[in-house]
Amino acid sequence: MGAFLPILLLAVAANAGLLATPSQALTQDGLHLLDAKRALTVPDGTLTDWNPTAATPCAWTGVTCDATGAVTALSLANTNLAGPFPASLCRIPRLASLDLSANYLGPEAAVAGCNALTRRVPRPRRGGAAVGGRHGVRMGRRRGRGA
């Protein structure tokens, strides 16, 4: 009976879904998004669907993915996020559009780490800074100019 018990426990755990398989693990893009969320002050009730047990972040608020499941856009404008610009967003390889405007993010120098995304630091917009203060940041690759 001693050798049978560990096998029985393993079978019960697998049947109950307690053992995660690699296909159930959150994608690397999702992990980067969760790192960004942890780095920010997020108001109660905001981003509650950003679930670390999900297989993909593609159904999360503000997240857009391509057909392969890679994150290509993040739009969290006017969600009252606060804190330093989360550098983990710069590590999402296919992120082509990022809208964090109308939040409380900064400093502007931190956005320079995302130049692979923008190839430029956003210029100040009418009514406020591109990064910092209430206006936050809005970034994305330009279309039509080969950028």
Number of domains in the chain: 1
3-state secondary structure of 28: helix
Task: Kindly report, residue by residue over 81-122, the tens digit of the pLDDT.
Answer: 999 999 999 999 999 888 999 999 987 667 766 765 654 544
Residue 10 included in any domain: no
Residue 9 included in any domain: no
pTM above 0.75, yes or no: no
How is residue 78 written in tokens?
């006017």
CATH number for 70: 3.80.10.10
Residue 19 included in any domain: no
Which residues are 97's β-sheet partners? 73, 140
Residue 2 included in any domain: no
Boundaries of domain holding 94: 24-140
Residue 38 included in any domain: yes
Residue 44 included in any domain: yes
Letter for the amino acid at 97? S
Compute the distance between CA of residue 116 and CA of residue 74 in angstroms, rounded to an integer: 15
How is residue 19 written in tokens?
């053992």
Residue 122 included in any domain: yes
Task: Kindly report, residue by residue over 41-50, the tens digit of the pLDDT.
Answer: 999 999 999 9
Identify the residue with better confidence: 16 or 66. Answer: 66
Task: Kindly report, residue by residue over 34-73, the tens digit of the pLDDT.
Answer: 999 999 999 999 999 999 999 999 999 999 999 999 999 9
